[in-house]
Chain A
Amino acid sequence: MNNLIHDYPKLSIAEIQAGLAAREFSATELAEAALMRIAQIDPLVKSFLEITPDLAITAAQGIDQAIASVSAGSLPEECGTLAGVPMAYKDNLNLTGTHTTCASKMLESYISPYTATSISNTLIAGALPLGKLNLDEFAFGSSTETSIFGPTHNPWDLERVPGGSSGGSAAAVAAGLATATLGGDTGGSIRQPASFCGVVGYKPSYGMVSRHGAIGFGPSLDQVGPFARSVADAAAVTDAIALYDPADTASQHTSVKMTDYLTLGVKGMRIGYVPELLELDGLTAEMRRADEDAMQRLQDLGAVLIPIELPHARAALAAYYTIGPAEAFSCLSRFDAVRYGYAERNASNLTELYERSRTQGFGPEAIRRIVLGCYLLSAGVIDQYYYKANQIRTLIRADYQQAFTICDAIVTPASPRAAFRFGEITDPVSMHASDIYTVPVNIAGNGGMSLPIGFGDKTGLPISLQIIGPQLVDQNIFQVAAALEETYDFERLAPMVLEELITPMSLEGGAA
Chain B
Amino acid sequence: MKTIDEVLLDWEAVIGLEVHTELTTLQTKMFCSCAFDFGEAANSEVCPVCLGLPGALPVPNQAAIESIVLAGLATGCDIMPDTMFYRKHYFYPDMTKNYQITQGPLAFCMNGEIELEVSGKAAEQRIDQQGTMPLTSEPDQSTSQTEGYRTKIGITRIHMEEDAGKLIHIGGTDGRITGADYSLVDYNRCGTPLIELVTEPDLRTPEEARLFLQKLRLIYLTLGISNVSMEEGSLRCDGNISLRRRGDQQFGTKTELKNMNSFRNLHDGLEYEICRQAEVLENGGLVRQETRHWEPATKRTIAMRSKEAAEDYRYFPDPDLTPFHLTDEFIESIRARLAELPDDKNNRYVEKLGLPLVDAANLAGDPQLSSFFEAAFATLSDNLANESAVSELARPIANLLLNDVSAWLNQTGTALADALFTPSGIAALVSLGQDGTLSSRQLKDVFAEMATSGKSPTEIVEEQGLRQVSDSAAIEGFITKAMAANPDKVAEYQAGKTGLLGFFVGQVMREMQGQGNPRLISEMLSKRLDEN
**Residues of chain A having any CB pair with chain B under 8 Å:** 92-94, 100, 102, 107, 110, 113-114, 116, 211-216, 218-220, 246-250, 326-327, 329-330, 333-336, 338-340, 349-350, 354, 374, 377-379, 382, 386
Residues of B within 8 A of A330 (CB): 87, 89, 99, 314, 316, 319
Pairwise interchain contact B59-A249, C-beta atoms closer than 8 A:
yes
For the complex, what is the distance from the CA of A320 to the CA of B112, rounded to whole Å? 39
Interface size of B in residues (CB-CB distance below 8 Å): 29
Contact residues in B for A211 (Cβ distance below 8 Å): 57, 320
* Nearest opposing residue in chain A for B320, CB measure: A219
Q: How far is the CB of A69 from chain B (nearest CB, A)?
A: 35
Would A334 and B55 count as touching, CB distance under 8 A? no
Q: A333-B99, A377-B316 are contacts. A246–B59 as well, Cβ < 8 Å?
A: yes
Neighbouring B residues of A382 by C-beta, 8 Å? 314, 316
Choose one: B51, B97, B321; the contact of A249 (CB below 8 Å): B321
Q: How many Å from the CB of B311 to the closest CB on chain A?
A: 10
A-B contact pairs, 11 of them (CB 8 A): A94-B55, A113-B48, A219-B319, A219-B320, A248-B57, A249-B58, A330-B319, A334-B52, A335-B54, A336-B93, A338-B93
Is residue B322 contacting chain A, with contact meaning CB distance below 8 A? Answer: yes
- In the complex, the answer to whether B53 meets A114 with C-beta atoms within 8 Å is yes
Q: Which residues of A contact B98 (CB under 8 A)?
A: 333-334, 336
| A211 nearest CB across to chain B (Å) | 6
Decide yes or no whether B312 CB sits under 8 A from chain A: yes
- The CA of A211 and the CA of B49, in the complex, are separated in Å by 13
* B96 CB-CB contact with A under 8 Å: yes
- Bound complex: CA A386 to CA B316 (Å): 9
Q: Is B177 at the interface (CB under 8 A from chain A)?
A: yes
Q: Cβ of B54 and Cβ of A333 under 8 Å apart?
A: no
Interchain nearest-CB distance for B395 vs A (Å) = 54
Give residues of chain B (266-314) contacting chain A, Cβ–Cβ below 8 Å: 312, 314
Q: Which residues of B contact A336 (CB under 8 A)?
A: 91, 93, 98
Chain A residues with CB below 8 A from B52, complex form: 334
- Assess A378 versus B54: contact at CB under 8 Å? Given A219-B320, A334-B97: no
Judge whether B433 is part of the interface by a CB distance below 8 angstroms. Answer: no
Q: Give residues of chain B (157-214) contacting chain A, Cβ–Cβ below 8 Å.
A: 177-178, 185
Main secondary structure of the interface of B (DSSP, over half): loop
Assess the A212–B319 pair: CB atoms within 8 A.
no
B57 and A247 within 8 A (CB): yes
Q: Which of A102, A218, A250, A350 meets B54, CB within 8 Å?
A: A102
Q: Which residues of B contact A354 (CB under 8 A)?
A: 91
- Contact check, B91 vs A378: say whether CB atoms are below 8 A apart: no
B56 at the interface (CB under 8 A from A): yes
Does B60 count as interface, using CB distance less than 8 angstroms?
A: yes
| Contact present for B48 and A114 (CB under 8 Å) | yes
Contact flag A378-B314 (CB < 8 Å), given A334-B96, A339-B96: yes
A116 x B55 contact (CB < 8 A) = yes
Closest beta carbon of chain A to B211's beta carbon, Å: 36
B59 touches A326 (CB 8 A): no
Binding site for A on B (CB under 8 A): 48, 51-60, 87, 89, 91, 93, 96-99, 177-178, 185, 312, 314, 316, 319-322
- B55 and A378 form a contact (CB under 8 A): no
Shortest CB–CB separation between residue A66 and chain B, in angstroms?
Answer: 30
A336 to B96, CA, bound (A): 9
> How far is it, in angstroms, between the C-alpha of A62 and the C-alpha of B478 when the chains are bound?
96
Evaluate contact between A212 and B55: CB separation under 8 angstroms. Answer: yes
Q: Is the CB of B312 within 8 A of A215?
A: no
B57–A327 CB distance below 8 A: no
A162 to nearest B CB, angstroms? 23
**In the assembly, what is the distance between CA of A211 and CA of B321, in Å?**
11
Q: How far is the CA of A214 from the CA of B322 in the complex (A)?
A: 17
Cα A246 to Cα B60 with chains together (Å)? 11
A350 contacts B177, C-beta separation under 8 Å: yes
| Complex alpha-carbon distance, A398 and B175, angstroms | 56
Hey, which chain A residues are within 8 Å of B314, CB to CB? 329-330, 374, 377-379, 382
- Assess whether B97 is in contact with A333, with CB atoms less than 8 Å apart: yes
Which of B58, B60, B97, B319 has most chain A Cβ within 10 Å? B319
Chain A residues with CB under 8 Å of B53's CB are 113-114, 340
CA distance in complex: A219, B98 (Å): 17
* B59–A247 touching, CB < 8 Å: yes
A249 surroundings in chain B (CB, below 8 A): 57-60, 320-322
Alpha-carbon distance between A378 and B312 when the two chains are bound, in angstroms = 7
Which residues from A are CB-within-8-Å of B97?
333-334
Query: Smallest CB–CB gap between A366 and chain B, Å?
Result: 13
**Nearest-neighbor residue (CB-CB) of B49 within chain A:** A247
Contacts of B178 in A (CB 8 A): 349
A319 to chain B, nearest CB (A): 14
Please provide the 9 A-B residue pairs with the shortest distance between their CB atoms, ordered closest to farther.
A220-B319, A333-B98, A377-B314, A219-B319, A215-B54, A215-B55, A213-B55, A334-B97, A249-B322
B-side contacts of A246, CB under 8 Å: 59
CB distance from A463 to the nearest CB of B (A): 33
Question: Within the complex, what minimum Cβ distance (angstroms) separates A89 from chain B?
Answer: 12
Asked whether, in the complex, the Cβ of A114 is within 8 Å of the Cβ of B59, the reply is no
Q: How far is the CA of A341 from the CA of B89 in the complex (A)?
A: 20
9 further A-B contacts with Cβ under 8 Å, apart from A249-B60, A374-B314, A382-B316, are A94-B55, A113-B53, A114-B56, A215-B54, A330-B319, A333-B97, A334-B97, A350-B93, A378-B312
- Contacts known (A213-B55, A215-B55, A338-B93); A326 close to B316, Cβ less than 8 A: yes
Chain A nearest CB, measured from B124 CB (Å):
44
Complex-state Cα separation, A461 to B231, whole angstroms: 71
- In the complex, chain B residues whose CB is within 8 Å of the CB of A333: 89, 91, 97-99
CA–CA, A246 and B55, complex, Å: 15
Q: Are B319 and A107 in contact (CB under 8 A)?
A: no
Which B residue sits closest to A355, measured CB to CB?
B91
Q: How far is the CA of A330 from the CA of B86 in the complex (A)?
A: 11
Which B residues are in CB contact (< 8 Å) with A113? Answer: 48, 53
Give the shortest distance, in Å, between B186 (CB) and chain A (any CB). Answer: 12
Residue of A nearest to B93 (CB): A338
CB distance from A166 to the nearest CB of B (A): 15
Q: Which residue of chain B is the closest to A106 with respect to CB atoms?
A: B54
With A334-B96, A336-B98, A382-B314 known to touch, is A250 a contact of B322 (CB < 8 Å)?
Answer: yes
